[in-house]
Chains A and B, each alone.
Chain A
Amino acid sequence: MTSIQMPQLGETIVEGTILKWLKNEGDQVKADEPLFEISTDKVDTEVPSPVAGTVTKLLVAEGTTVPVGTAVMEIDDGSGTAGNGSSAPAATETPTAAPAPTPAQPPAQAPAQAPARQAIATPAPAMPDRGPRSNILSPIVRKLARESGIDLATVAGTGEGGRITKADVLAATSGATAQPPTSAATVTPLPSVGPAAAAVMVAPPSMPAGQGEESEPMSHIRKAIATHMLASTQQTARAWTMVEVNVDRLVRLREDTKEKFQANYGVKLTYLPMVARATIDALQQFPLVNSRIDGENIVTPRFVNMGIAVSYDAGLIVPVVKGADGMNTIGIARAIADLAARARSHQLQPDEVQGATFTITNPGPYGSLLSVPIINQPNAGILSLDAIQKRPVVVEDDAIAVRSMVYISMSWDHRLIDGELATRFLARVKHNLETWDFAEDLGL
């Protein structure tokens, strides 16, 4: 399958408009036959096909303006993909009840195919398109990549037309940052990770849409999240610990004061600021949980920048309350409300999503009882505040009573922290939440 991109007709030309499709889905094309007409701010032209084949997909409507390099069309040129699994269902559908679920086939096939693919040394790796010459891999570039094991998809090409040069590979393998250039997004949705963590969305097996399925390209943010999450999973030694906290007093406090809080401070009072405040104290007591790895060193900030995971229309973003250790619960509540609102309206600045030293995620409001979050690199841990629920619990004198309880858990990086420390940290958070008088901190 060949992906046709909006061509680069000159360095200063950054986008083009599809004026007219000259070929439709299903049409045959010959090599160099015109596929579509484009208009840029400098010139108009028709764009010829680099291959012979059949047009399978038009990805963009006529009249749309897209940045250079955007995939606009797909052509099946017979180069073959691992699409066997997903196209099977249409052919093998039988009227018998409960057939073996065919969607399960592609994942099962994929692992078997991956080793075979790795055995083939000669074909060039599929490269993200970053310029008209980003696919040209010179012999020395391939040799250095092979010897170092670096994935060329992660190396930015500074050569003519985006070509990866020998110098680029040497810089990337010596640890200098060579991040793939991102498109013109206004905000990097996730905190910038160090060079060691700057991997790599290893290309998953290709499984194109089949009958009854739709396919759309991943958004830039989705790709970034995928890369970040996969990198975290691959690079951290993730362990997980949970405590159960009696938040009865907090629930009652909130019920009593939430209206007054809203009236006084203009923001809703949720549990999150209180948990954040309790956590900050614990981070100050156990600074290693606030630290990060730098090569073979451990860097421990003396401040706390609290990352707060926010779910919004484009996916997930983690704005950061900078200097949260200097704020009281009111200040934290205000900061969280402001950042969340601006996150949802896509108004965050790049430095507002960078620099977290610890992260809290709060899926509770959506109903989850227990979560195992993925660490937001380069943090040592991420705390999850799940749903508060009334549960029967054993109280003093072995009586059973109904109390508001919540499971608070933390995924933590065993490279930095050990189990005892993680548990004591969470115990401290629990202790704070169960014993503090937040009323004073709320100024009510």
Chain B
Amino acid sequence: MASTTVESGAAGHGAEPRGKRSEDGQATYLIAIAEALWEEMERDERVIMLGEDIGVYGGAFKVTEGFLERFGPDRVMDTPIAEETIVGFSVGAAMEGWRPVAEFQYSDFMTSGFDEITTVLSRYHYRSGVQTPVTLRAPSGGGVRASNFHSVNPEPWFAYAGGIKIMCPAFPSDAKGLLKSAIRDDNPTLFLEHKALYRRIKEHVSEDPEALIPISSAAVKRPGDDVTIVTYGAMVHKALEAADTLAGRGVSVEVVDLRTVYPIDEETVIRSIEKTSRALVLYESFHFLGIGAEVASVIAEKAFEHLDAPVMRLAPPNHPVPFSPPLEDAFLPQVADIEAAVDRLSAW
């Protein structure tokens, strides 16, 4: 194939993701993800990448910019707009010993390959005894005025399948460490990247290619004594903001970031409830049947004796994500809503 020129896109930098860190060495959420992919591609020849526009274009969000040049078209494949085929191809390749990392341009399009994901990928090992180490990646979540075709949180749909580990990191370090763990895991994994965080969050991220974050490990992002907020994804940052304001009012909030939403780290959550006795489960997937509904259930069942108030949930309704900005803002939990919910919980 003739060599192609890569235009510098929105990420606007050179080929190696690590070279795209800020001057003081911090990496954005997006660059951290790119670094994880690059390092795993370098580490293990069996890792291959496929997706719509990931090669020549460098990815819709420019995550994979420079990968085609470095790793070649046999390992970085542009696909047709055919999600079912992307997943089916990944399953087949995995059966043959490859470790595919398949990108969906938006998580909303994953449902075009729903059957391949839930009936095939999720169950193939159970049916046949053959491992399928496929990692699916997709930008998910709303709050960016992208409306209901480009803002979904699909994790509940695929958690239901039962055979796929699902991660929703909130911080760049967590994103890099978890994606590496996902690629190295021999099970099907789904790595959801919250698109609102791509360029908005940056921090110092390890350069050690062996720095992994274990799947199904939650983390206390802010210690506190009075109320626990269990959350994940972009909501973690809103929870932290609310916690700052609440601290000024004398309410000490502990924020537990699930990081992996299926299977969840029950122990960390319960340990937090043992401390505070009050739980608010905050999540961006829909209220009914969203991830938080499960978390609340686990808390009620396994931490009952430690509760000083009912477990409360805060999540958007089961409703298409609105397009109009004021409507989308009203739809998603905002910092003020989180504060109000914590107030209600504290006053119970």
Judge whether A140 and B307 touch: CB under 8 Å.
yes
Judge whether A165 and B308 touch: CB under 8 Å.
yes
Judge whether A139 and B307 touch: CB under 8 Å.
yes
**Does any Cβ of B come within 8 Å of A138's Cβ?**
yes
**Does any Cβ of B come within 8 Å of A342's Cβ?**
no
A148 to chain B: closest CB distance in Å?
A: 14
Judge whether A143 and B305 touch: CB under 8 Å.
yes
Residues of B within 8 A of A159 (CB): 347-348
**Does any Cβ of A come within 8 Å of B114's Cβ?**
no
Of A138, A143, A163, A166, chain B has the most CB atoms within 10 Å of the CB of A138
**Does any Cβ of A come within 8 Å of B184's Cβ?**
no
CB-CB nearest in chain A for B273: A140
The A-contacting residues of B in range 282-313, CB under 8 angstroms, are 304-309
CB-CB nearest in chain A for B276: A166
Judge whether B308 and A141 touch: CB under 8 Å.
yes
Interface string of A135-155 (1 = CB under 8 A from B): 000111111000000000000
Give Cα A159–Cα B308 distance, bound, in whole angstroms.
10
Residues of A within 8 A of B305 (CB): 139-140, 142-143
Give Cα A143–Cα B274 distance, bound, in whole angstroms.
12
Task: From A139, A141, A160, A166, give the contact of B304 (CB < 8 A).
Answer: A139
**Does any Cβ of A come within 8 Å of B135's Cβ?**
no
Give Cα A139–Cα B304 distance, bound, in whole angstroms.
7
A101 to chain B: closest CB distance in Å?
A: 48
CB-CB nearest in chain A for B347: A160
Judge whether B308 and A140 touch: CB under 8 Å.
yes
Residues of B within 8 A of A160 (CB): 347-348
CB-CB nearest in chain A for B309: A138
Summed over the interface, the residue pairs from A and B with CB atoms below 8 Å come to a total of 26
What is the size, in residues, of chain B's interface with A at 8 Å between Cβ atoms? 9
Residues of A within 8 A of B105 (CB): none
Residues of B within 8 A of A139 (CB): 304-308
A160 to chain B: closest CB distance in Å?
A: 5
**Does any Cβ of A come within 8 Å of B277's Cβ?**
yes
Residues of B within 8 A of A141 (CB): 308
Interface string of A311-351 (1 = CB under 8 A from B): 00000000000000000000000000000000000000000
CB-CB nearest in chain B for A165: B308
Residues of B within 8 A of A140 (CB): 277, 305-308
Interface string of A110-143 (1 = CB under 8 A from B): 0000000000000000000000000000111111
CB-CB nearest in chain A for B225: A167
Judge whether A143 and B347 touch: CB under 8 Å.
no
Judge whether A138 and B307 touch: CB under 8 Å.
yes
Give Cα A143–Cα B277 distance, bound, in whole angstroms.
12
Judge whether B308 and A138 touch: CB under 8 Å.
yes
Residues of B within 8 A of A142 (CB): 305
Give Cα A138–Cα B279 distance, bound, in whole angstroms.
14
The B-contacting residues of A in range 141-192, CB under 8 angstroms, are 141-143, 159-160, 163, 165-166
Give Cα A292–Cα B277 distance, bound, in whole angstroms.
39
Give Cα A163–Cα B278 distance, bound, in whole angstroms.
15
CB-CB nearest in chain A for B300: A139
A121 to chain B: closest CB distance in Å?
A: 13
Give Cα A143–Cα B307 distance, bound, in whole angstroms.
10
B81 to chain A: closest CB distance in Å?
A: 52
The A-contacting residues of B in range 330-348, CB under 8 angstroms, are 347-348
Give Cα A353–Cα B309 distance, bound, in whole angstroms.
41
Judge whether B348 and A166 touch: CB under 8 Å.
no
Give Cα A320–Cα B277 distance, bound, in whole angstroms.
46
Give Cα A358–Cα B305 distance, bound, in whole angstroms.
46
Residues of A within 8 A of B306 (CB): 139-140, 143
Give Cα A275–Cα B215 distance, bound, in whole angstroms.
82
Residues of A within 8 A of B307 (CB): 138-140
B20 to chain A: closest CB distance in Å?
A: 49
Give Cα A166–Cα B274 distance, bound, in whole angstroms.
11
Of A139, A143, A165, chain B has the most CB atoms within 10 Å of the CB of A139
Give Cα A140–Cα B306 distance, bound, in whole angstroms.
4
Residues of B within 8 A of A166 (CB): 277, 308
Of A140, A143, A160, chain B has the most CB atoms within 10 Å of the CB of A140
CB-CB nearest in chain B for A143: B305
Interface string of B218-256 (1 = CB under 8 A from A): 000000000000000000000000000000000000000
Give Cα A160–Cα B278 distance, bound, in whole angstroms.
15
Give Cα A160–Cα B347 distance, bound, in whole angstroms.
6
The A-contacting residues of B in range 166-186, CB under 8 angstroms, are none
Give Cα A140–Cα B305 distance, bound, in whole angstroms.
5
B53 to chain A: closest CB distance in Å?
A: 53
Give Cα A160–Cα B308 distance, bound, in whole angstroms.
12
CB-CB nearest in chain A for B278: A166
Given contacts A159-B348, A160-B347, 11 further A-B contacts (CB under 8 A): A138-B307, A139-B304, A139-B308, A140-B305, A140-B306, A140-B307, A142-B305, A143-B305, A143-B306, A163-B348, A166-B277
- Write the residues of chain A forming the contact surface with B, with a CB cutoff of 8 angstroms: 138-143, 159-160, 163, 165-166
Q: What are 26 of the A-B contact pairs (CB < 8 Å)?
A: A138-B277, A138-B307, A138-B308, A138-B309, A139-B304, A139-B305, A139-B306, A139-B307, A139-B308, A140-B277, A140-B305, A140-B306, A140-B307, A140-B308, A141-B308, A142-B305, A143-B305, A143-B306, A159-B347, A159-B348, A160-B347, A160-B348, A163-B348, A165-B308, A166-B277, A166-B308
Q: Which 10 pairs of residues, A with B, have the shortest CB-CB distance? A: A166-B308, A138-B308, A139-B305, A140-B308, A143-B305, A140-B277, A166-B277, A139-B307, A140-B306, A139-B304
- Write the residues of chain B forming the contact surface with A, with a CB cutoff of 8 angstroms: 277, 304-309, 347-348
